[in-house]
Structure 1
Amino acid sequence: MNLHLMRIYAASPLRVQQMAILAFGWYWRYRRFGRAFHRLVQEYLERESWSAEQLRAYAEARLREQVLRAWREIPYYRHRFAEHGITETQLERLTLAELPRLPLLDRNVLRTQPKSLLTRTARMFPPRSFYSSGTTGRPARVYFRRLTHQHNMAVREARCFRWAGVSQLDPRAVVGAKTIVPSAEAPPPYWRFNRVEHQLYLSLHHISLKNIPDYVSALNRFQPVVLEGLPSGLYFLARFIREAGLEVHRPKAVITMGEKLEAHMRAEIEAVFGARTWEEYGSVENCVLATECEHGRMHVHLDFGILELIGADGQPVRPGEIGETVVTGLANRDQILIRLRLGDLAAWATEACPCGRNQFPPLADLYGRVCDAMVMPDGRRVAMANVFVGLDEVWEGQLVQQELNKFLLLVVPTAKYSERCREVLGERMRRLFGSGVRYEIRVVNEIPLGPGGKKRGIVCLLPPELTGPIHTSCDLRDEQMS
Structure 2
Amino acid sequence: MQGDIVRTPDVLVRRIFQPLWDVYEGSIRLRTLRELEKSQWHSRHQLQEAANHKLRRMCRHAVATSAFYRRRFAEAGIDPAGVRSIADLADLPLLTKADVRENLDDLLSTSYRREDLTPAKTGGSTGVSLNVFCDARGIERRNAAALRSDRWSGWEMGQPLAAVWGNPPTPTTLKNKLRWHLKDRIIYLDTMRIDDAAIENFIGQWRRVRPGLLFGHAHSIFILAEALRRRGVALRPTGIVATSMMLLEPERKVIEQVFGVPVTNRYGCEEVSLIGCECEQHHGMHLNLDHNIVEFLDDGGKPCAAGQDGRIVVTELINFGMPMIRYEVGDRGVPSDRACPCGRGLPLMESITGRTADFLVASDGSRVAGISIIENSLTRFAGIRQLQIIQEEPLLLIVNVVYDADADPQTEAQLLGALRGMLGESLQFTVNHVPAIPQEKSGKYRFTICRL
**Fold match by TM threshold 0.5:** yes
SS for the counterpart of 1:35 is coil
* 1:294 partnered with 2:284: no
Out of 343, 346, 349, the residue aligned to residue 360 of structure 1 is: 346
SS for the counterpart of 1:342 is strand
* 1:134 partnered with 2:124: yes
* Cα distance between partner residues in 2 of 1:221 and 1:382: 35
Map 1:91-130 → 2, pairs under 5 A: 91=83, 94-123=84-113, 125-130=115-120
Q: Is the 1:288–1:327 Cα contact (8 Å) retained in structure 2?
A: no
* 1:42 partnered with 2:34: yes
Q: Residue by residue, what CA displacement relative to the aligned partner does 1:33-80 show, whole Å, maximum 9, x if unpaired?
A: 863111100111111221111111100010001111111111111111
* Cα distance between partner residues in 2 of 1:264 and 1:255: 16
Show the counterpart of 1:271. Answer: 257
Show the counterpart of 2:65. Answer: 73
* 1:165 partnered with 2:154: yes
* Cα distance between partner residues in 2 of 1:364 and 1:462: 34
Query: How many residue pairs align between the two structures?
Result: 360
Percentage of pairs with the same residue: 26
Out of 282, 296, 305, the residue aligned to residue 318 of structure 1 is: 305
* Cα distance between partner residues in 2 of 1:468 and 1:201: 21
SS for the counterpart of 1:260 is coil
Out of 404, 419, 432, the residue aligned to residue 463 of structure 1 is: 432
Alignment gaps of 5+ in structure 2: 6-17, 171-178, 359-369, 371-384, 389-397, 403-421, 424-429
Show the counterpart of 2:195. Answer: 208
* Cα distance between partner residues in 2 of 1:474 and 1:304: 30
Out of 226, 239, 255, the residue aligned to residue 253 of structure 1 is: 239
TM-score for the superposition, normalised by structure 1: 0.67
Show the counterpart of 1:186. Answer: none
Distance 1:402-1:165 versus aligned 2 partners, 3 A rule: closer
Deviation at 1:161, TM superposition (A): 1.6
Distance 1:364-1:401 versus aligned 2 partners, 3 A rule: closer
* Cα distance between partner residues in 2 of 1:105 and 1:293: 30
Distance 1:352-1:128 versus aligned 2 partners, 3 A rule: closer
* Cα distance between partner residues in 1 of 2:386 and 2:147: 30
Map 1:78-93 → 2, pairs under 5 A: 78-91=70-83
Q: Which amino acid aligns with 1:221?
A: R
Show the counterpart of 1:407. Answer: none
SS for the counterpart of 1:368 is strand
* 1:144 partnered with 2:144: no
* 1:56 partnered with 2:43: no
Deviation at 1:241, TM superposition (A): 1.6
Q: Residue by residue, what CA displacement relative to the aligned partner does 1:360-389 show, whole Å, maximum 9, x if unpaired?
A: 1111221232669xxxxxxx9999xxxxxx
SS for the counterpart of 1:259 is coil
Q: Which amino acid aligns with 1:207?
A: I
Show the counterpart of 2:375. Answer: none
Out of 193, 197, 217, the residue aligned to residue 230 of structure 1 is: 217
Deviation at 1:136, TM superposition (A): 0.8
* Cα distance between partner residues in 1 of 2:293 and 2:80: 21
Q: Is the 2:333–2:351 Cα contact (8 Å) retained in structure 1?
A: yes
Map 1:366-405 → 2, pairs under 5 A: 366-369=352-355
* Cα distance between partner residues in 2 of 1:31 and 1:257: 30
Show the counterpart of 1:189. Answer: none
Show the counterpart of 1:415. Answer: none
* Cα distance between partner residues in 1 of 2:85 and 2:98: 27
SS for the counterpart of 2:52 is helix
Bigger drift between 38-47 and 101-110 goes to 101-110
Distance 1:62-1:473 versus aligned 2 partners, 3 A rule: farther
* Cα distance between partner residues in 2 of 1:110 and 1:165: 37
SS for the counterpart of 2:225 is helix
Alignment gaps of 5+ in structure 1: 1-13, 20-25, 182-192, 373-379, 384-399, 405-450, 453-460, 476-482
* Cα distance between partner residues in 2 of 1:278 and 1:220: 23
Distance 1:253-1:34 versus aligned 2 partners, 3 A rule: farther
Q: Residue by residue, what CA displacement relative to the aligned partner does 1:354-413 show, whole Å, maximum 9, x if unpaired?
A: 2222x31111221232669xxxxxxx9999xxxxxxxxxxxxxxxx99899xxxxxxxxx
* Cα distance between partner residues in 1 of 2:164 and 2:201: 14
Q: Which amino acid aligns with 2:200?
A: P
Deviation at 1:194, TM superposition (A): 3.6
Q: Give the aligned CA root-mean-square deviation in angstroms.
A: 3.6
* Cα distance between partner residues in 2 of 1:86 and 1:178: 43
Out of 323, 326, 341, the residue aligned to residue 336 of structure 1 is: 323
SS for the counterpart of 2:234 is coil
Deviation at 1:473, TM superposition (A): 5.7
Q: Is the 2:333–2:352 Cα contact (8 Å) retained in structure 1?
A: yes
Show the counterpart of 2:207. Answer: 220
Distance 1:18-1:134 versus aligned 2 partners, 3 A rule: farther
Q: Which amino acid aligns with 1:368?
A: G
* Cα distance between partner residues in 2 of 1:259 and 1:156: 16
Deviation at 1:472, TM superposition (A): 5.3
Q: Which amino acid aligns with 2:353?
A: Y
Deviation at 1:131, TM superposition (A): 0.8
Show the counterpart of 1:393. Answer: none
Q: Which amino acid aligns with 1:366?
A: I
SS for the counterpart of 2:343 is coil
Q: Is the 1:311–1:324 Cα contact (8 Å) retained in structure 2?
A: yes
Higher relative contact order (CA 8 A, sep 6+): 1
